[in-house]
Structures are given as C-alpha cells and as structure tokens.
Structure 1
C-alpha cells in the first residue's frame, strides 16, 4: 500500500538579510532596483510627492509606508518624517478586571499589534522656501517583507477603481451584499490578486456609502418612489412628514397589490410589526387570502408611531389607493387601530 507524502514549503524571509556586527541582531533591506531607492539630497516639490516616491519604493520592496511626526514653525512645516508602518510599538493599557469602573472605560477590543519598533525612515527638511529635501535615510528594517505574490494584500496596493465602485453600487441595489459582490468580482477578474481589493475593502466602501447618505436616505426613498410613479401609472404611494421634515409615514401599493385587492379584497388583515429597524419605525403589511388559501400582499407601510392619528392617515391613504373599503378587517385588537377603522371606514366593516 502506497502512502502519499505531502510536502509543506518552508517559509523563506523576503529581503536581503544581514546581521549587525555590534548587536548581533538581524536586519533586512529591500531587494529593489537602485533607481527606486530614496537617497540623501533628493529634492521634491512637496511632501506629497516625496511620500508618493517613498510609497512606490515601499511597494517594490514589500512593505507599507506612512506619514509620521513633523515640526512646524509659524504655520510652516519645517521637518517631516516618513516611516514604515511597523515603526514604534503599541501602547498597552492595563485593565483591572476586578474593578468594574476600569472595565467600563475599555470601549475598544484588544487587537494584535503589527508594529515591531522598526527604525526605517526618511526625514525631509524644508528647502528653498517651498521644496523638501531628504537629509536622512535609514534603510535597515527589523522585519522581513511581503512576498511578491502577496503584494496585492498591502494596504497601499489596494484601491477601488471607479468602474469597480459602480459595480459594487449596482450589486448593492440588487440586494447583493459586499462579500458576495467581492466573490462575484473575484470570479469575473480571475482571482483575488486581480480584484485589487479585499472583501473587507468592499464592506468598508458600502459603509462609506451608507455614511454619505446619512440623513438624506428618506428623501432618496421618496424621490425613488416618485420616479417610479411617473413610469408606472397604477403605482400608488403617499407619505407624510413632521414639521422639521422628518419622515413619519409612508404607504405604497403597486399594480399587483391593486389587482390582488380588487379580486380578494373583501377581507383584509393588517398589523404593525415590532420596531426592529434602525429608524425606529413600525412596518405595517396589508394582507389578503386568495382562492387557494395563500397570503397575498395588498400594500405596505412604515409608521413612526402607533397612534390613532397615524392609523387614520394610513387608512385614508389606503382608501385613496383602492377607492373602496373592505367588508371585513382583521387586526390584533389594538385600540388605536379599532378607533381609526371606525373613523375612516364609513361603511363600518366587520372588525375582528
């Protein structure tokens, strides 16, 4: 019987490895072309140009750079440090687990630190009034670098192009989440390394969109429904706002809902669900029963409060949409609903 043997490739550290003759510690230097290396005396038109050059050198070498401290005088930057992202060490805040007050102040979860106290850096000084010159370059890193096959995982190497942002937005409109959207893009582009971003980047982009929308999301919904009504004459919706413009009621019914009501609208049921959404509004579906004893949707609404006035507005919108009243209304015996039904439905339908 033959046994299969699986070999695991040994990890090889990336970069040119050296050992200090003084301390005996290992350090690494990027194995890159000399033309991409920073050199003392190089002059740049701005800090941004210098950082772009250092970032290009970092990506070629397999690490990521970031901006660090600066010295400013009279509002003018005189000195600027550009360092490796592994520069410094994470400060650890001790928490006494027996002290309840100490535990309550810990609002951030502990994360492993990627910093190794790396001293690699370039230092810039103001030169000729508005330019910056490298006056110090430290090329020794106390860590190895990212392999060439994994460079696309570096933060500086990841970016969403405009076309990919449009694709994510289009899939979001189809209720496709950012992780599934990333997997679709991975298949389209032929691999993780060809997408240019990670699944986390897609989730962050979706969060940025939600943050950008902010308080205008209700306005966008109303505008979308208005546009839908222009192209679908049988589509109906109504809304009401507070004095300061906040949405407090929204009702809609499409052509299928109207068709269902005209056929199976003798008996309807409506009930307000629990306030489970971020807007603290209740969802109110209108439901009927077809000739196969299956539920059919007759309309839906969002309400900011479960008061008599809110339900009266909702039922009045319902009458405007369907033009006639049902014969039987089934609810959960909410007093506010019962009062609104008696006031709005003048034909006095049977109420359960």
Structure 2
C-alpha cells in the first residue's frame, strides 16, 4: 500500500476509512502540516484506539469507558509535485481485537445520515411521528438494520438540532408580524431576529418598553442563565433578570436561541446591549459556561463577572465523593468559601485543605482555584451584587413562565404567552407597592434608625434591616480603638455554635462605616456588626449614603407607569391615545419636578 496515489486528501482518507471498516477498527485524523503557501502538504491518520488511556471522570469510583489503549496503527501521506497524494508511512499492526464488519459500522467515522434520510426525518417529525417510529421506517425502507449507516441516537441528535433551527415560513412570518404590530402600538418595543445562510430563523431577542425602563432602574446587577424551557422547538430560553426594590425578580428582556456557543452568545449580548442604549451592568452572574465567559469579557469588559456559587458547590459530591475523607473535605471547602473574610484567609484554608487531604492532583479543584476571582465571595467584596450570588433568579423566572407554555406551544404563541406572564408579574409588583404605601411594620426597638429605615424602605427590605438590627444582641466588643473596632459574634450553625470576629471601621464625624463581612457592599443593607458599633458610639441615625434609593418605597420609578404589550392589546383607541400622552407627559414631569418653580409652571 505504500506508494499508492490518490487525487486528493479526502480520497486517501476515504480509502483508509473503508479499509478500517472492513478490518474492524475506527479511523481518525491525527495531524496535518502546511507548506509555505498555506496549503496542506502532509496528513496522518491513525486507529481510533491510539493514544493514552485517560479517564474523563474525576471520581475514581465512577470511571467512564475509554477506547484509548495506545494502538500504533497508522497511515501517513503527502502531496507530491505531480499533484497526487501518496502513502508514505504505513503500520497495519494493532494491539487490540478487531471487530467484524457488522459491528465496525457503528464506529463514529462510519456513521452518516444521507440527505434523503435527513429530509425524511424532518418531514416525519413535522407530522408528529415519534422518533422510534421515524427511525424504524428508515430501517424498513433500507431492508433491515444491516443496511442502515446510522443509529437511532444519530437521528435523535439531528432532529434536536433541526428543531432548534426549524421555524417554518409561517412561524417566522407570524412572529415578525406580531412584533411589528406590537411596535406600531409601542414604538419603544424592541426586537431582533437572526437568520442563518438559508434564511431560517436562528435566534430571537425582544424586550418590552417596561423591561427597558426597569433596566434603567435596576440593571446594575443582572443574572443570566439558559435553560430548556418547554417549547415546540427545544430552544433554550435566555432571560436577563434582576432584582427590584422589593427584592423580587424582574425581567429586562429575553431571547430564544438555537445554540449555546460563542457566536450565538455574542449576537445575543450585543443585541441586548443595543436595546439598553449601550448601558452595561456593574455585575453579571452566570453559570460556568466557557463560551459565555469569553463573550462577557469581550462585550462587557468593565463588568464584574460572577459564577453561580450554588451550581459550583452542588458538584462537590460528584467531584469529591470518592475520597475516603469526603465529609471532612466538604466541611473545609465550605469553611474556605463562606468563612473567609479576605483573600489571604481563603488561600490559607484552601492550601491547608489541599495538603492535608492530598488533593494536589484533583483537576476540578485546581481549575476552581485558578478561577477563584469569579466565584469566591471574598474576591467579590468590592462590587455591589444586590444580594445575589446565584442564577436562581433566572431559574425561578423560567419556572414562572413554565406555567404559560407547553410542548405544543408554537413560537408566536410563546411570545404572546410571555406577555401574559409578564403582566401577571407586573401585577404582583403593583400589589406589593400598594401594600408598602398602605401598611407599616411595627418597630421592635426604640432606636431612631429603625424608624428611619421603616419610613422609607419597602416592607421586605425593612424586614431585612430589622433582622440585622435585632441580631446585634449576639455581638460584643473585643477591642476598640479610635476608628477601628473588633466585634465578636456568636453564630449558631445547626446544633453547633462558633464565634467569628469582624473588623469594623467607623468614622463618626465623616459618617463612614464599613465591616469586613462586606454585607452592605453585597446586599445594600448595613450588617449587625456595623449597627452594633454605631449604637455603642451614640450614633442612632444612619448616614444618608447608607439609605439606598434602590430599596426605597417613596420614589417615582418610570417603569411602574409603563403598560405591558398585553395591556396595550386590550385598550381602546381612546385608551391608547391616553397612554401615549401619559408617557410624554411623564417625561415633562420628570424634568419639572426638580424644583418648585418649574413644577408650579407646569401645573399652572
């Protein structure tokens, strides 16, 4: 076989692949090299069982099957001056058992879906025929399984891919017409649709005017997560979610996407950024997706990117459960994450854990440590996170919409139902606003700061402050200097109690206070340690800088005056004209309210 010539590299590969299929081994491309002209001049193909065995599982008690056993069989060829490709290197000796032809056809390199098979799968899937029946019809048509060049799993993968991309002309047109109709009634409604090279719809993003106004108010911190919300096309639902003044989830916009890769996320994030007038958030929380990390760094270079802490810590059992001292390792890992008030303390506990339990070879822990600035709380202390460290806001939003759609929901209906769900979400916010303005929480102490916060904060946020205020009874001075104070807190964890020490810096004359727990930076609520120091220094009123506009109930917020598209559809022409005037008048009122003179002028 050495010296055999072929017209192209592909022809040489196909020859070796067919040879491998008959002999019973898989074939894969190992390497290639280019000449100075940039053209490929040399390639090598090897047995698919070449290379060293390496388990992909980090749990030694749950190994995964691996085909690699170091087989040295290979074929190498190069491009000659006459334009022919010739075999130069050949080794036909294998170190493993070769399969029969009836089994070797299941190697990945030998499986393929013909254009005809793909077309028939698509047609039958559109007709609602189940996958097992769809596959069986192709088997029967081919005259039996021995004549089929693909598996049922290949068919399933193809159908899932096509469902994400497949939006028929009627679906795409109906969706676009719906968006345009909404936009004609509300010119601030935003939508964007991306198509592939064949003109099929790939990705969609939209945001109602209320969503955009809410982003102006609460878009400093955003959570983003893609989960497969049930819909006819199996497309990931991608909502951008934040937290409103009640601490409830609020939607800024969302998309339906065909893939979860760099190209798709780039389009989605750029589109969202354009929708929000190029205003970037202070922080964004996502899962550990590598493609998302690359895109966020490129599009939001000044935004702090945080990984969902819950998603990371829930993997501990899977990644470390095989270790004999798993329980002790888990406790120490949680201690490093939650009890470290500084990066230095985290690294001290972490390194002690690695050495004590001989974890230096654990790739998962090594990767987490290298990326610690993306997920460990003490590295995030200098940024505001509105009390969020996980993407569960996004997940709860998915669960909320799940009650409005099902497996038969077509895309246009999905968007319409989205609007209905949004209206329900808005109604809950309106009800909570009314409760805050018509009801008042009783104070449980005589401190003026409690009344101060109660009078301006929403009920739920006041309750968070009240919890910190009453919990200062568990705090006690350990050491106190002019501006630096050491406070000890007795903390109960389960059945156990432990004492934790916090450093509080307080300058009464300047109205400056900070604590090593960094709760104010994280949640926007002063911690019990800071409150304890203020009270014991005869400072019973909070400085104005520690009363955040974000949690106040007594401010006018533009998004609360904007109707959803669901409400606009049900309006009469007179009501629509009224709505348009209200929006324009609101802009005037926003400017006029800045001083008494302009306010009286407009009123007159």
Normalised by the length of structure 2, the TM-score is 0.32
Q: Would you say how many aligned residue pairs link Structure 1 and Structure 2?
A: 223
Aligned with residue 62 of structure 1, among 11, 16, 24? 24
Distance in structure 1 (CA, Å) of the matches to 2:9 and 2:57: 37
Is 1:91 the counterpart of 2:54? The answer is yes
Is 1:302 the counterpart of 2:417? The answer is yes
- Tell me by how many angstroms 1:81 deviates: 1.0
Cα 1:238–1:151, aligned 2, differ >3 Å: closer, same or farther? same
Cα 1:143–1:78, aligned 2, differ >3 Å: closer, same or farther? same
- Asked if the contact 2:43–2:78 (Cα under 8 Å) also holds between the matched residues in 1, the reply is yes
Is 1:137 the counterpart of 2:66? The answer is no
Structure 2 counterparts to residues 315-334 of structure 1, below 5 A: 317=569
| 3-state SS of 1:153 partner | coil
Distance in structure 1 (CA, Å) of the matches to 2:104 and 2:173: 44
Is 1:128 the counterpart of 2:81? The answer is yes
Normalised by the length of structure 1, the TM-score is 0.51
Cα 1:123–1:226, aligned 2, differ >3 Å: closer, same or farther? closer
- Asked if the contact 2:50–2:72 (Cα under 8 Å) also holds between the matched residues in 1, the reply is yes
Q: Deviations over 1:103-131 (max 9, x none)?
A: xxxxxx96311122111111113321643
Normalized per residue, the structure richer in strand is 1
- Tell me by how many angstroms 1:40 deviates: 1.0
Distance in structure 2 (CA, Å) of the matches to 1:132 and 1:302: 59
Aligned with residue 199 of structure 1, among 135, 143, 152? 152
CA RMSD of aligned residues (A): 4.0
Cα 1:186–1:46, aligned 2, differ >3 Å: closer, same or farther? closer
Cα 1:238–1:52, aligned 2, differ >3 Å: closer, same or farther? same
| 3-state SS of 1:303 partner | helix
Aligned with residue 112 of structure 1, among 54, 65, 74? 65
Q: Mind listing any 5+ residue stretches in structure 2 that lack a counterpart?
A: 184-188, 193-204, 209-227, 231-235, 240-397, 405-412, 428-560, 573-604
- The equivalent of 2:263 in structure 1 is none
- Tell me by how many angstroms 1:147 deviates: 1.6
Distance in structure 2 (CA, Å) of the matches to 1:207 and 1:199: 12
Cα 1:69–1:244, aligned 2, differ >3 Å: closer, same or farther? same
| 3-state SS of 1:143 partner | coil
Distance in structure 2 (CA, Å) of the matches to 1:311 and 1:154: 57
Aligned with residue 566 of structure 2, among 300, 303, 314? 314
Cα 1:276–1:92, aligned 2, differ >3 Å: closer, same or farther? closer
Aligned with residue 183 of structure 1, among 126, 130, 136? 136
Cα 1:221–1:56, aligned 2, differ >3 Å: closer, same or farther? same
Distance in structure 2 (CA, Å) of the matches to 1:194 and 1:222: 38
Normalized per residue, the structure richer in helix is 2
Q: Deviations over 1:277-323 (max 9, x none)?
A: 443573787xxxxxxxxxxxxx9942252337998643664689xxx
More displaced 10-residue stretch of structure 1: 67-76 or 181-190: 181-190
- The equivalent of 1:160 in structure 2 is 113
- Tell me by how many angstroms 1:86 deviates: 1.0
Deviating beyond 6 angstroms after TM superposition, the runs of 4 or more aligned structure 1 residues are 308-311
Distance in structure 1 (CA, Å) of the matches to 2:112 and 2:22: 17
